[in-house]
């Protein structure tokens, strides 16, 4: 049993015998619309009658005669002009095409190329696949892939690095639709058209500037800079494989797209053949220019790797110095504490080793000495802690600035492991030392103040005085 799609295909093919045939196929809102007009013979009318008689829920077919009346095709008069309109709903991510004309129209609509993942056509005999979509013969009204998700539209990379001076001569928004992944026969009509248009679109991506006045021109920013007539893209089709390879290397492989584009355009301009159009000369220059551009890029990567290693070495050296500074501050804090303890012990030993008779009348002097030493220890220790904290805060601010300015090539996890964690460990060690020394300093100050008070009161009298003073307040 012949399907309605086969009947439509036969009717369209036979209608092409008409000398005044007009076929348009395009997308309108969410509807796919095919319009055919031409002078029909009896066989064409019969074939279109079979199409109308076949039932397809997804298709709406209107057949109109020369008087613009809706009729059944078999009611039409041979030799007169008739009009056929076929509409169907679009499926998300899937494009269904009736005619080769619709295929051409679609390929020329740059803003719609990335809307679909699957393309089905009645005229497709051999399937092929690009990096953007699969092109398949349309054999069932509702294909197996009834719906699929499409990726959100991204900002065009090509138009951000290529200067365009005419809206009639622009590079493609995306490269993926023009890069062939797999294919059957290369001489299929659909793939031949795709290849011809793809060759033109990809060639525009190699230029630095695009002009369109009396004729289309491309500009290459090399030494010397050149302006070259674009020419006939069919001349470049024998080099389509290397053209795809170059475009894929620049726009789809890795990062630094603009740099790779600059390398290639400079190499193309360097020894461009005189008086030769761009499409013609690309066959001679592109293979060697692409090889040279790749070598330049590899040299750039090696140079960048050396710079990266140097930056990592500088980072390691800086971190070592910062860590040593923080550790040194901990040592200095501990050293200062031991000196203060030695001073306090010495003064107390001197005071309490004297005979009670010799110390009579010197109580006020000893009390002042104890208080003075306590004040000295508090001020000295406080200044040391303040200076250390300010130094650590400054190191942290400088390190934060370096993070974005000098070491942006490191991701957050690597930076935390290489830089942040060692410094934080050193700062944590310093904080623990500071807390312990602060406790000891407080004890020393309390001991000195207690000793100063004991010069005027005995310990028992002092406790009794404190008790009386507290009771009086309450």
Sheet containing 180-183: which strands, arranged edge to edge?
A: 94-97, 118-121, 134-137, 128-130, 180-183
C-alpha to C-alpha distance for 184 and 205, rounded to whole angstroms: 27
Q: How confident is the model at residue 448 (pLDDT cuts 50, 70, 90)?
A: confident
Q: How confident is the model at residue 264 (pLDDT cuts 50, 70, 90)?
A: very high
Residue 361 has what pLDDT?
56
Give whole-number Cα distances, 104 to 100, 141, 215, in Å.
6, 21, 23
Phi first, then psi: what are they for 26, rounded to 5°?
-155, 175
In the chain, the percentage of residues whose pLDDT exceeds 70 is 83
List of long-range contacts for 192-198, beta carbons under 8 Å, 24+ apart: 193/100, 193/103, 193/104, 193/107, 194/107, 194/128, 194/135, 195/237, 195/240, 196/233, 196/234, 196/237, 197/107, 197/108, 198/240, 198/244
Distance in Å from the first CA to the final CA of the chain: 112
Residue 310 has what pLDDT?
66
More confident: 350 or 263: 263
Quick check: pTM over 0.75?
A: no
Who's near 385: CB < 8 A, 6+ residues apart? Answer: 333, 434, 438
Residue 261 has what pLDDT?
93
Helix, strand, coil percentages in the chain from 3-state DSSP, rounded to 5: 60, 15, 30
Residue 338 has what pLDDT?
84
Residue 320 has what pLDDT?
72
Question: What stretch of H or E contains 381?
Answer: helix 363-405
Residue 78 has what pLDDT?
92
How many Cα atoms sit within 13 Å of 422 on the Cβ side? 18
Residue 131, judged by CB atoms within 10 A of its CB (0-12, 13-18, 19+), counts as middle
Residue 100 has what pLDDT?
95
Rg from Cα positions in the chain = 43
Q: What is the pLDDT of residues 374-418, one digit of tens each?
A: 888 888 888 888 888 888 888 777 777 666 555 555 566 666 666
Q: What is the pLDDT of residues 266-315, one digit of tens each?
A: 999 988 988 899 999 999 999 999 999 998 888 877 766 566 656 666 66
Q: Residue 113: name the closest of 179, 169, 189 by CA.
A: 179
Q: Which two tokens stand for residue 363?
A: 């109580």
Q: Residue 436: name the closest of 338, 324, 325 by CA.
A: 338
How many Cα atoms sit within 13 Å of 94 on the Cβ side? 19
More confident: 222 or 462: 222
Q: What is the pLDDT of residues 154-208, one digit of tens each?
A: 556 888 899 998 888 999 999 999 999 987 667 788 999 999 999 999 999 999 9
Residue 357 has what pLDDT?
44
More confident: 225 or 313: 225
In the predicted model, what is the mean pLDDT of residues 197-225?
A: 90
Residue 101 has what pLDDT?
95
Q: What is the pLDDT of residues 11-68, one digit of tens each?
A: 999 999 999 999 999 987 788 999 999 999 999 999 999 999 987 778 899 999 999 9
- Sign of torsion over alpha carbons 40, 43, 44, 48: positive
Q: Which of 299-303, 343-347, 450-454 has the lowest mean pLDDT?
A: 299-303
- The position carrying tokens 């600059």 is 262
Is residue 75 predicted with pLDDT exceeding 60?
A: yes
Q: Residue 194: name the closest of 249, 145, 237 by CA.
A: 237
C-alpha to C-alpha distance for 263 and 255, rounded to whole angstroms: 14
Q: Which of 95-104, 371-380, 445-454 has the lowest mean pLDDT?
A: 445-454
Residue 317 has what pLDDT?
72
Q: What is the pLDDT of residues 122-166, one digit of tens each?
A: 999 889 999 999 999 998 887 766 555 555 445 568 888 999 988
How many Cα atoms sit within 13 Å of 451 on the Cβ side? 24
Q: Omega into 96 within 30° of 0, i.e. cis?
A: no
């Amino acid at each position: 049993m012949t399907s309605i799609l086969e009947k439509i295909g036969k009717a369209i093919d036979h209608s092409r015998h008409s000398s005044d045939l007009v076929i348009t196929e395009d997308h309108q809102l969410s509807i796919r619309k095919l319009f055919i007009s031409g002078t029909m013979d009896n066989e064409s009318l019969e074939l279109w009658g079979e199409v109308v008689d076949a039932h397809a829920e997804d298709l709406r077919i209107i057949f109109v005669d020369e008087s613009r009346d809706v009729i059944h095709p078999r009611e039409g008069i041979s030799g007169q002009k008739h009009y056929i309109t076929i509409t169907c709903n679009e499926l998300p991510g899937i494009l269904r095409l009736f005619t080769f004309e619709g295929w051409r129209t679609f390929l020329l609509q740059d803003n719609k190329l990335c809307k679909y993942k699957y393309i089905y056509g009645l005229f497709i005999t051999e399937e092929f696949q690009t990096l953007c979509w699969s092109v398949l013969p349309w054999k069932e009204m509702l294909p197996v892939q009834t719906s699929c998700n499409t990726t959100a539209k991204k900002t065009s990379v090509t138009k951000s690095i290529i200067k365009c001076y005419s809206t009639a001569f622009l590079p493609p928004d995306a490269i993926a639709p023009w890069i062939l992944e797999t294919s059957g026969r290369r001489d299929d009509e659909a793939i031949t058209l795709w290849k011809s248009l793809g060759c033109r679109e990809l060639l525009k991506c190699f230029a630095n500037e695009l002009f369109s006045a009396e004729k289309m021109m491309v500009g290459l920013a090399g030494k010397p800079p050149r302006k070259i007539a674009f020419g006939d893209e069919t001349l470049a089709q024998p080099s389509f494989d290397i053209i795809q390879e170059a475009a894929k290397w620049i726009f789809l492989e890795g990062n630094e797209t603009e740099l790779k584009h600059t390398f290639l355009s400079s190499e193309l301009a360097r020894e461009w053949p005189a008086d030769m159009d761009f499409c013609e000369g690309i066959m001679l220059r592109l293979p060697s220019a692409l090889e040279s551009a790749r070598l330049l890029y590899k040299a750039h990567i090696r140079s960048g790797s050396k710079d990266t290693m140097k930056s990592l070495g500088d980072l390691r050296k800086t971190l070592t110095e910062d860590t040593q500074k923080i550790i040194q501050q901990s040592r200095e804090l501990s050293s200062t504490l031991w000196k203060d303890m030695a001073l306090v012990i010495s003064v107390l030993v001197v005071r309490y080793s004297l005979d009670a008779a010799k110390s009579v009348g010197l109580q006020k002097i000893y009390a002042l000495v104890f208080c003075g030493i306590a004040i000295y220890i508090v001020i000295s220790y406080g200044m040391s802690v303040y200076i250390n904290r300010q130094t650590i805060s400054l190191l942290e601010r400088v390190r934060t600035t370096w993070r974005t300015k000098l070491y942006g090539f490191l991701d957050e996890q690597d930076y935390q492991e290489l830089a942040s964690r060692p410094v934080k460990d050193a700062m944590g060690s310093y904080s623990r030392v500071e807390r312990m020394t602060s406790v000891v300093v407080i004890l020393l100050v309390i001991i000195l103040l207690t000793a100063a008070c004991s010069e005027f009161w005995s310990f028992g009298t002092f406790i009794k005085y404190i008790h009386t003073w507290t009771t009086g307040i309450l």
